[in-house]
Amino acid sequence: MAERLQKILSAAGIASRRKSEVLIAQGRVMVNGKQATIGDRADVDIDIVTVDGKPIAAERKRYLALNKPSGHVTTLSDPQGRPKVSDLIDVPERVFPVGRLDYDTEGLLLLTNDGDFAERISHPRYEIDKVYVARTATPLGDEALRLLRTGVQLEDGPSAPAAVRILYRDNRTVELTIHEGRNRMIRRMLAAVGSPVTGLTRMRIGPLALGDLPTGRWRELLPAEIAGLLEGAPKPAGPAVTRKGPR
């Protein structure tokens, strides 16, 4: 059945539908040897669709959860040659990170080859909560907590109010829930209230918790977990197979 090219490219894990439209507009997509245009349709069972001269094929959709260690970048390539999160994953499909975690931040990171899923999880308009636990260099006082809960003024605009919970009596370990995805958001918020971060871990994305997944290891998401992320359903109970990435 013929479908719009951007949907075909997204289903093949090439890019999200929006980014696929950019590829088409740039003239990088061909159908049966002819340059495609926005609005074109194709049937992957009949037509030959190529991107940058390489034919695409429908891939198995993969949805992975990784406990990202510190010291890895959430990109597929790095000019500085630093370790990448993709080095920890051993699946035949080309998966990419959903959103990002800073080089020195640990915790839950999703990877997929489903562009639509990635956009749904990472786009700010869906306001999916992300829960972090931060360790700070100095205790958080009442005024710092008030600012975090009402919005902190940053160089690129005020933060949205965060849900904040102190975890230990020394007031230096705090749980923050935000839905924004601006660069180094948690670190900048805490620095702005006078408590720089010394350690940061993402514990949850929407209903999906990091749980006991060991650092540097990944697992497949369960179908119910994928549905929960997309629909806001409660996190399902039940075990999942854990695999170890290459050392």
| Nearest-10 Cα torsion for 148, 152, 126, 63 | -70
pLDDT band at 114 (very low <50, low <70, confident <90, very high): confident
- Active-site residue among 43, 45, 102, 156? 102
Is 90 in the active site? no
Is the CATH number of domain 129-205 3.30.70.1560? yes
Average pLDDT, the chain: 88
Considering the domain 3-55 in this protein, what is its CATH number?
Answer: 3.10.290.10
Residues 75-108: pLDDT tens digits?
A: 888 899 999 999 999 998 889 999 889 999 999 9
Ranges for all domains in the chain classified under CATH 3.10.290.10:
3-55
> Which residue from 60, 61, 2, 59 is spatially nearest to 31, judged by alpha carbons?
2
- Of the chain, the percentage scoring pLDDT greater than 90 comes to 67
CATH fold of 63-124+207-244 reads Alpha-Beta Plaits (3.30.70)
Pinpoint the residues of the chain covered by CATH 3.30.70.1560: 129-205
d(CA 9, CA 7): 5
In which residue ranges of the chain is CATH 3.30.70.580 found?
Answer: 63-124+207-244
Nearest to 117 by CA among 150, 95, 92: 95
Give which of 182, 179, 176 is closest to 135, Cα–Cα: 176
Give the residue carrying structure tokens 């999906």: 208
Q: Encoding tokens for residue 124?
A: 């700010």
The number of CA neighbours under 13 Å toward the Cβ of 206 is: 24
169 Cβ contact partners less than 8 Å away, ≥ 6 residues apart: none
Mean per-residue pLDDT, 206-223: 96
